[in-house]
Structure 1
Amino acid sequence: MEYEVTGDPFTVDFGASGSDAILQNIKTILTTISGTVPLDRKFGVDVPLDQPAMVAQALLTANIIEAIEQYESRVEVVSVMYSNNDNEGILIPIVKFRMKEGEEFEPSRFAGY
C-alpha cells in the first residue's frame, strides 16, 4: 500500500509513536533545510537555489529521496511530485512511499499529514 506526505508546514507532536512518528519523521525531513540542525548538519534536504525550475526539481527530488533513505529507513520512496506556485517559485514536495517489507503501518491520524 502506498501513502502520501506533503512538505507543507505542520505542528509537531512530541508524543508521536508508531505510524504517526514515521509520518512526522518524513514531514520533518521534507521541511528541514540541511545545515540548519546544529548537531547534525546533514539532516534535512539540500535545497537547490538559483536553478531553472526543471533543474531545481530534479535536484530536489534526488535530495529528498537520499535524505529519506538515510533518516527514515523503514520506508521506500515510490515517487516525488510537486505542487508548485509558478508566480512565487515555490516547490512543495508530495512524497509517495510504502513501508519496507516486515514493517507495519497503521496511521491513526493519516489525514493530518
Structure 2
Amino acid sequence: MYVVSLLDSIDYGATGVDAIIQNVRFILSTEWNSCVLNRSLGWIQDIKDGPIDFVKSQLASRIVEAIETREPRAQVEEVLFDVDPLNGRLIPTVKVVIQEDASIQSA
C-alpha cells in the first residue's frame, strides 16, 4: 500500500509503480476543468462550506471516482484529510494499492 499526497514535482522519466504513483499525485492535485487540453482531468472541488464531515465525505467520493477512472491501476483504499484551519483548507492524502497487471484503456 502506498500513501500518496499532492504533487510537488514531475519526474518525466518515471516508469512502473513510480509512474502510477505520479499519475495519482497529478490527479489528486488537479482541479477539474483546469487542465487546458484535458478538461475532465482532476476532481471537482466546488464545495466551499458545510459541516466538516459532510464536506470530507463528498470530497472523498469525488477523489476516489477521479483516481479510479483516470488511473485504473490504482485502487483507492482510504482518503484522509489534513486540516489547515488558518486557511480553511482540507488537504487530501490517499492510500492506494497498485494493480500492475491492470490495463489502461484510452478514450
The percentage of counterpart residues that share the same residue type is 34
Give the match for residue 4 of structure 2: 5
Give the match for residue 46 of structure 1: 44
Q: 25, 28, 34: which one pairs with 2:26?
A: 28
Give the match for residue 57 of structure 1: 56
In the comparison of the two structures, how many residue pairs are matched?
101
CA distance in 1: counterparts of 2:49 and 2:65, whole angstroms: 20
CA distance in 2: counterparts of 1:6 and 1:101, whole angstroms: 20
Relative contact order higher in (CA < 8 Å, ≥ 6 apart): 1
Q: Gapped runs of 5+ residues in structure 1?
A: 104-113
Moved over 4 A (4+): none
Output the TM-score relative to the length of structure 2: 0.85
Q: Which amino acid aligns with 1:22?
A: I
Q: CA RMSD in A?
A: 1.6
Give the match for residue 90 of structure 2: 91
* 2:71 equivalent to 1:69: no
